Structure 1
Amino acid sequence: MGLAGGMGRGMRGGGPRGPQQKLEPGQRPDTRRVLSLFAPYRGTLLVVLALIALGAAAGVVSPFLIREIVDVALPEQRADVLGWSVGGLVAVTVVSSALGVSQAMLSTRVGQAVMHDLRVSVYAHLQRIGLGFFTRTRTGEIQSRIFSDIGSMQAVVTSVMTQIVSSAAGVLMALVAMVALDWRLTLFSLVALPLAVWMNRRVGRRRREIVRIRQEKAADLSAGIQESLSVSGILLGLTMGRSQALTEAFTDDSRGLADLEVRSEMAGRWQMAVFTTLMALFPALTYLLGGHLLFADPSGSGVTIGTLVAFIALQSGLFPQINGLLRVATQVNSSLALFTRVFEYLDIPVSIQDAPDAVALDADEVRGVIRFEGVTFAYPGADAPALDDVDLVAPAGKHTALVGATGSGKTSTGYLMARLYDPDSGRITLDGHDLRKITRSSLADSLGVVTQETYLLHSTIAENLRFARPDASDEEVERACRIAQIHDHVVGLPEGYATVVGERGYRFSGGEKQRLALARTILRDPPVLLLDEATSALDVATERAMSGALDAVARGRTTISIAHRLSTVRRADQILVMSHGQIVERGTYDELVTRGGVFAQLAAQDSDQEDGAPVPEPGT
């Protein structure tokens, strides 16, 4: 088991790692789809093609000037012919160099623009495909596809495509010139071409498969590094005494990747070496054939010395062009595995998106009535539904609490309220509007969420808070932090609000991170507030100190709190008790305790836990 497998499966539970509609290993993407990436830049590409054509035309002029020098200028001692022929050779060299630089600059710009478009397309698509994909895919693998796969395609999209066209144009021009010089020598020069094409196709198939496996291994290695070298990964490795084992696993994975790199680089090298050697022999063989043709026709009406010299010059330029064209074709063929991996992500369907007739709600006008009507929902691949025919109403401006044992469906209810998932049946409404008919952006403006897994960016405190509202003033930021009971702690730091929180906020305790997350949501001032275990990391004293502040924030707005510690929901207007995806009890805290049902057992357990005594599970 390698580094990525050991750390990834150990930390993520061994679920599926990637998109479910993955293409088969040998399947190639549609070539038209690859070429469509260049469509927005067709104007610039036409200029590049024109420069390539001019460069190729200039390249075939030189052999004819050489023939004039050998057949006319030198034998007849024609200084004028020699002068303009040499001047023409110099001019061709200068023009070819200028055209080459211009063509390289434009093609590189187009290539980098295509790379940029592809990266942005993948990133934007991943932002829209929904939470479910990310619960089964490792972050390191996603990063690998965006950076490693697209980065490895850089040579293809920046230079290889134009190199193919350039080489093809050069080959075509050279062949036309060679036929013009002598068709018999031209046919002889191309006798080995079918063998070269056959070898190239065979090598391309082999290299494409190696590249596919190499990129999968590279993605695993990247995911393993991201997991094992994160703060959590380092803590896990050190506390479990697995640092040496992880290093050994990384060594094995890295060695395997290095072997694949060698195999990818060396695939078909022997076949191409044979072809290159054969091509190197052709000029000598052409001299032999040309000499026999010259001897058979001494008058020079067929092949002259100048013709033979010019032909060898063209041939010397043709064979490297053909060889380069075949090498590039092999490279493009193998790079199709990279396009396949990137297109896999672009082809993942967007599960949560705006309906064509979706309306944008004005957050200032939202009352905040949330209603579930016969809602049933199951996670993909789950054996049982997380929610089963749930009906509930969270009245406007009131505090509704969801409580229940682990796995009862509380968090799933919150996910559906925030429309991170859509229900399989039934509907959820906000002020009478089906959530599926509300734009996602306006729903995010109307409903603020604080989750139990607090996430802070590796940035300053102020920048983390302004992630919710970039235009917030310093006074508004401080007010939100005062409400969340974190302002005094922040100003006590040496750099205050300019303090960098560290990766995922690891410079702060769990309670401090949760208070910062609360402040971030408070800063948005949404009409509906969803708190998913938002105070689970706070000590009892801090939690009690915050309760009054949260009550002040919640006043006048709809608040839904998903709670594990029941002391946080004593003053809720209504409490919904969940079990196995259903609401089994409803009422206020006192009513439910008096009733002596599931909630009463949970409350007794909660009270005993605060006292530090072990308690049985509810229902035992």
Structure 2
Amino acid sequence: MGSKKPTAAEIAQARNVSLRRIGALFTDHRRPLSVVVLTIVASSIVGMASPFLLREVIDTALPERNVQLLVWLVIGMVAVAAVTSALGVVQTWISTTIGQRVMHRLRTDVFRHLQRQSIAFFTRTRTGEVQSRITNDIGGMESVVTSTATSIASNLTTVVATAVAMAALSWQLSLVSLLVLPPSIWLTRRVASMRRAITAQRQRELADLNVIIEEGLSIGGVQLTKTMGTGPAQVERFTASSSRLIDLELRSELAGRWRMASMSIVFAAIPAVIYLAAGLPITSGSMSIGTLVAFTALQSGLFRPLMSLLNVGVTVTTSLALFARIFEYLDLPIDVDEPARPVPLKAPRGHLRFEDVTFSYAGSNAAAVAGVTLDVPAGSSLALVGETGSGKSTIAALIARLYDPTAGRVTIDGVDLRDLSLETLSSIVGVVSQETYLLHTSVRENLRHAKPEATDAEIEAAARAAQIHDVIAALPDGYDTTVGSRGHRFSGGEKQRIAIARTLLRDPRILILDEATSALDNETERAVQRAFDELARGRTTVTIAHRLSTVRNADQIAVVDHGRILENGTHDSLVDVGGRYAALAA
């Protein structure tokens, strides 16, 4: 099966990656890089002594049978090899350390930047795609980041030093050797362009493969596959993607191989041309055997780093596709960002207000919330009721600042949420939603996730308040029992009570319960509701529920329809009005 072609925008983006921006990744490592460069230069200079030592062996020590000179020349050769090897180890150690630190910085920068993205980004982006950028794309750049700079410096220094040494031995033969350089550079540029396009396709296919794995091998995905009988289709989908990867990997490895192989043949033929040139009548009497042998050794030592330089050029150009994908994520704008000058709120009371708030989701022409005005005094309770899709959860999301209003503002104690630091806001507002997410770790660590410094006594108290302590205590390892992937070892009601305990552990001033008891049976719901009633004293509570029995005692009830507030009042007053709420309560 054919692989997908890159779009014009993706190709343009890969071309526009700045080498200066890539180089900026190494700016914090100038000193160790300087040491690496000095080590490379020293190694290249020392290594250039070998051909001259060889010439002396052939032209002087052996013909004259000068054993003492021969011994010193051999010792010199061994010393040169030992010094260059030692310098090579030092160079590799420092350059690899630098490369790994740059890789670490890229990974953490991308992860940190994605953590700051709004919920809107994650709703429109496949999870497997995000994972692929952090693992496959950054992992694919490892060889470039860890060894490219030193490889360029090492090979370039070697080429320059070798060229100087060759000219010193014979400038005529040097000209013959360098005739192959222009076609080599031209071929390399062609090969690099081919591989860059293929690399972009390969990384997109890897991302698709990650998505298939995420969707097909997660707990929810496996359950869906087994209940729907779509296992064979999933395997076929995975197989097709993997087959496309085989094709792309082969194309990437073989791209330009015949062209580069042709250059290798030419390079191998150069020594024969040198021997021919040395044997011509016009030059045969002007060159010793030792000079010819030394020059041939230098020539072979020139083309090896020269080919490495050309291959590095191919690798760097190819990696531009990877850098483009990483920089694309790093350049994503932050929709919900930290304020430039956060307003401190040291003793929040929890007075919540909506002031003519309107909000629309990206790409939607219709407002999800339209002209909402609400006033929830500190310590009081608000219930949001209405049909599914009426905008209740969106209103709750605006309180937690998962989104920012398109117009109007939401305030806590008179301060616009956009003027509070995200850390301050998260300490004030706690959310228990209808979709419970548990980490794949112990129950204790799941609870402590909300408050890392919490003691075991505090954790147990929160679990008791959420009516889940007895269930946890009965587990094989109690609070140290691993919950399993996404908490699937627990029932829906148990997961929600753990989530409730996790939120209560933070003791937020404003508590949002978005269908928080929807997965509980009637008896458990009554027990948890009693705990909520006790804990809600002195705390502002916003409750979203379909079952009106859970909200009839709220201080105010707002009926939401298509993002607007149709009615607002107490249970009794709304029933007396005989409007939408009365119809729902009937």
Q: TM-score, normalised by structure 2?
A: 0.97
Task: Give distance in 2, aligned partners of 1:174 and 1:235.
Answer: 65
Alignment-derived partner of residue 288 in structure 1 = 276
Distance change in 2, residues 1:67/1:428 (3 Å): same
Identity rate, percent: 54
Residues 350, 379 of structure 2: 8 Å contact kept: yes
Q: Among 400, 421, 439, which residue is 2:421 paired with?
A: 439
Alignment-derived partner of residue 83 in structure 2 = 95
1:561-580 Cα distance to aligned partner (Å, 9 max, x none) = 12222111011000011111
Residue 262, structure 1, aligned to residue 250, structure 2: yes
Residues 14, 320 of structure 2: 8 Å contact kept: no
Residues 116, 337 of structure 2: 8 Å contact kept: yes
- AA of the residue aligned to 1:402: L
Task: Give distance in 2, aligned partners of 1:549 and 1:76.
Answer: 103
Shift of 1:77: 3.0
Alignment-derived partner of residue 608 in structure 1 = none
Alignment-derived partner of residue 18 in structure 1 = none
- AA of the residue aligned to 1:113: R
Residues 371, 393 of structure 1: 8 Å contact kept: yes
Residues 418, 444 of structure 1: 8 Å contact kept: yes
Q: Secondary structure in 2 aligned to 1:75?
A: helix
Q: How does 1:32-43 map onto structure 2 within 5 Å? A: 32-43=20-31
Alignment-derived partner of residue 380 in structure 2 = 398
Q: How does 1:176-575 map onto structure 2 within 5 Å? A: 176-292=164-280, 295-296=281-282, 300=286, 303-362=287-346, 365-575=347-557
- AA of the residue aligned to 1:248: E
Q: Secondary structure in 2 aligned to 1:250?
A: helix
Shift of 1:247: 0.7
Q: Secondary structure in 2 aligned to 1:354?
A: coil
Residues 44, 154 of structure 2: 8 Å contact kept: yes
Shift of 1:298: 5.8
Task: Give distance in 1, aligned partners of 2:489 and 2:140.
Answer: 36
Residues 402, 577 of structure 1: 8 Å contact kept: yes
Task: Give distance in 2, aligned partners of 1:452 and 1:598.
Answer: 24
Task: Give distance in 1, aligned partners of 2:48 and 2:40.
Answer: 13
Distance change in 2, residues 1:25/1:206 (3 Å): farther
Q: Among 119, 123, 137, which residue is 1:149 paired with?
A: 137
Shift of 1:436: 0.8
Shift of 1:126: 0.5
- AA of the residue aligned to 1:425: A
Shift of 1:490: 1.0
Residues 23, 344 of structure 1: 8 Å contact kept: no
Q: Identify unmatched segments of 5+ residues in structure 1.
A: 6-20, 605-620
Alignment-derived partner of residue 607 in structure 1 = none
Shift of 1:297: 5.1
- AA of the residue aligned to 1:360: P
Q: Secondary structure in 2 aligned to 1:373?
A: strand
After the TM superposition, which of the residue ranges 224-233 and 470-479 deviates more from structure 2? 470-479
1:495-549 Cα distance to aligned partner (Å, 9 max, x none) = 1111111111111111111100000010001111111111111112211121111
- AA of the residue aligned to 2:252: S
Q: Secondary structure in 1 aligned to 2:409?
A: strand
Q: Among 151, 155, 161, which residue is 2:149 paired with?
A: 161
Task: Give distance in 1, aligned partners of 2:12 and 2:473.
Answer: 56
Residues 128, 208 of structure 2: 8 Å contact kept: yes
Q: Secondary structure in 2 aligned to 1:559?
A: strand
Residues 68, 81 of structure 1: 8 Å contact kept: no
Q: Secondary structure in 1 aligned to 2:440?
A: coil
Q: Secondary structure in 2 aligned to 1:379?
A: coil
Task: Give distance in 1, aligned partners of 2:383 and 2:278.
Answer: 95
1:595-616 Cα distance to aligned partner (Å, 9 max, x none) = 2211122223xxxxxxxxxxxx
Residues 359, 370 of structure 2: 8 Å contact kept: yes
Task: Give distance in 2, aligned partners of 1:369 and 1:477.
Answer: 28
Alignment-derived partner of residue 609 in structure 1 = none
- AA of the residue aligned to 2:501: A
Instruction: List structure 1 runs of 4+ shifted beyond 4 angstroms.
Output: none
Q: Secondary structure in 2 aligned to 1:529?
A: strand
Q: Among 101, 108, 127, which residue is 1:113 paired with?
A: 101
Distance change in 2, residues 1:22/1:464 (3 Å): farther
- AA of the residue aligned to 1:111: G
Q: How many matched pairs?
A: 582
Give the root-mean-square deviation of aligned CA atoms: 1.6
Task: Give distance in 2, aligned partners of 1:601 and 1:542.
Answer: 27
Task: Give distance in 1, aligned partners of 2:496 and 2:344.
Answer: 30
1:62-89 Cα distance to aligned partner (Å, 9 max, x none) = 1111111222222233334323222211
- AA of the residue aligned to 2:118: G
Alignment-derived partner of residue 56 in structure 1 = 44
Task: Give distance in 1, aligned partners of 2:549 and 2:272.
Answer: 94
Q: Secondary structure in 2 aligned to 1:296?
A: coil
Residue 578, structure 1, aligned to residue 566, structure 2: no
Distance change in 2, residues 1:386/1:219 (3 Å): same
Residues 55, 291 of structure 2: 8 Å contact kept: yes
Task: Give distance in 2, aligned partners of 1:119 and 1:256.
Answer: 27
Shift of 1:128: 0.7
Residues 28, 337 of structure 1: 8 Å contact kept: no
Alignment-derived partner of residue 125 in structure 1 = 113
Task: Give distance in 2, aligned partners of 1:516 and 1:297.
Answer: 90
1:303-358 Cα distance to aligned partner (Å, 9 max, x none) = 22221111101001111111121112111111111111111100001111122121
1:159-183 Cα distance to aligned partner (Å, 9 max, x none) = 1221121111111110111111111
Alignment-derived partner of residue 9 in structure 1 = none
